[in-house]
Amino acid sequence: MNIIIAGDGEVGMHLAEALEHGDHNITIVDPHEELLKMIESHSDLMTIMGDSTSIKVLQQANVKKADLVIAVLHDEHINVLTGILAKKLGAKKVIVRVNTMESLSKESWRIYQDLGIDGIVSPEDIAAQEIINLLKQNVATEAHDFAGGKLELLMIKLEPNAIAINKTLEEVTEKYKHIDFRALAIHRRQNTFIPKANDVFMEGDLVYVITKPHAIKELMQLSGKTKFNINNVMIVGGGRIGKLTAKRLEGDLNIKILEMDKERCYELTNFLSDTLVINADARNVDLLEEEGIKDMDAFIAVTDNTETNILTCLQAKSFGVKRTIAMVENIDYIDISQNIGIDTIINKKLIAASYMVRYTLGGNVSSLKCLSGIDADIVEFVVRDGAAVTNKPINRLDMPAGAVIGGIIRGEDSYIATGNFEIQAEDRVVVLVLPKTIQDVERLFR
């Protein structure tokens, strides 16, 4: 596939890296010469310095032969104009990043489509919804549901009192076979692997499991977790993510939002109806105490500064806050942040990649999620008639190394993947895929 990525920073670069594993010809258009030099020194990607709204620049990128154009600059107006021009100049499909989809009506979306835009993504909107989902499923470090909740993917950290510790996967599944779950991957000391029957669970392991909703309670007991109620929430950072999160939570929970910028505080006060807006610096420990940090059940740090988000979450933990969520923009910090005690990490680059990488795969991919805890994707495939995965039971399929089938959705029913289960056409199959294998896995479902 011929792909053009129009960006102005790290989101475009990360997206290019995520797509580089596939069989694609990728061209990056970016106005920053230094960034492009760095990309050129670390990859074989083609780069063009320039403005993506320039017809000359798009023609230089051979837009007329582009199968996909992705515009992920910070300015949504540039992205939309880039998409419109690219489509008019011959690109087959165009995806653009926007700041928020809150005000995008169905009529507006139809206008975008008439102008040639095939897809719109707002990482901020998705991040806000992920935060809300994590507060609802507060025992998991990461959570994602499929088919409206028929299957749940959870990332769970094994606590010191976890029943599963020092037991093999085979021992756990045999003793607790009445629990509908499957362990898909274990992340341990910066290494990720798909567990085999004789692999032993250890304290501190980050375990990705797929399960049915009714089994979550018992699964949490296995991991040493206890579900708790969340009523009081403090949000640090009144940008788009903080604002949208507060808007969607207010009315159901008691929300306080701390923002340093006075003008932004006025905007928040006008936008939010049942949230206490405080003009303050959350790095001030005394101020946090004054604002009742000890009474908070959850603490969410989503400022534009990664270090501030990490430090304030650690401060919240020291005050006994049960649930901390930090936005970490530097992907290299994610593993460190989890190891030092922050419960959940949100990363906009991974969120954008989750949405856009799906467009580079076949039409049989109904959803894709780039996991933030590990370097892996969770993909939902729709099985085509005659696909290779329908020929044999799961335990006899020639699955590529680095991929494991987790669950199957068939109509209104859901199943955890077991060895003798046979996949049928039109099934929706959830697969965890480690890097570089997604294209090979996708071929099995065509």
What is the tens place of the pLDDT at every residue in 351-387? Answer: 887 778 878 776 677 777 777 767 778 888 888 888 8
Does 444 score more than 90 pLDDT? Answer: no
pLDDT above 60 (res 3): yes
Q: Domain segments of the chain: what residues?
A: 2-121, 126-131+231-351, 140-223, 354-444
pLDDT grade, residue 190 (50/70/90)?
confident
* Percent of the chain topping pLDDT 70: 97
Note the pLDDT of residue 260: 94
3-state secondary structure of 134: helix
pLDDT the model gives residue 87: 96
Q: Which runs of consecutive H residues, i.e. helices, occur in 169-303? A: 169-175, 216-223, 240-249, 262-271, 285-290
pLDDT surpasses 70 at 396:
yes
d(CA 186, CA 181): 14
Give the lowest-confidence range in 242-246, 258-262, 333-337: 333-337
Please report, rounded to a whole number, the percentage of residues in the chain having pLDDT higher than 90: 40
126-131+231-351 maps to CATH 3.40.50.10860? no
* pLDDT value of residue 362: 66
Residue 266 Cα to chain centre, angstroms:
31
Judged by DSSP in three states, 133 sits in helix
Dihedral sign computed on CA atoms, order 386, 388, 392, 395:
negative
Span between the terminal Cα atoms of the chain, in Å: 17
Does residue 102 register a pLDDT over 70?
no
**How far apart, in whole angstroms, are the C-alpha atoms of residue 231 and residue 228?**
10
Quick one: average pLDDT of 110-122? 90
* Global confidence as pTM: 0.84
**Residue entry with tokens 């959870």:** 154
- Count CB atoms within 10 A of the CB of residue 267: 14
CATH of 354-444 among 3.30.70.1450, 3.30.460.10, 3.40.640.10, 2.60.40.2130: 3.30.70.1450
Long-range contacts formed by 309-318: CB under 8 A, 24+ apart: 309/236, 309/237, 310/337, 310/340, 310/342, 311/283, 312/236, 312/282, 312/283, 312/288, 313/342, 314/340, 314/341, 314/342, 315/285, 315/288, 316/234, 316/288, 317/341, 317/342
Residues 321-344: pLDDT tens digits? 999 999 988 777 776 766 677 888
Q: Output the CA torsion sign for 167, 432, 187, 301.
A: negative
pLDDT at 438: 78
Coil, helix or strand at residue 217: helix
> Where does 143-250 have alpha helices with state H?
169-175, 216-223, 240-249
Q: How confident is the model at residue 103 (pLDDT cuts 50, 70, 90)?
A: low
CATH topology (fold) of 2-121: Rossmann fold (3.40.50)
Q: What is the mean pLDDT of residues 133-143?
A: 79
Report which residue type is found at 317. K
Do 126-131+231-351 and 140-223 show the same overall fold? no
In the CATH scheme, what is the homologous superfamily, with its name and number, of domain 140-223? Regulator of K+ conductance, C-terminal domain (3.30.70.1450)
Q: Which of 42-51, 118-127, 297-306 has the highest mean pLDDT?
A: 297-306
Mean pLDDT estimate for the chain? 87
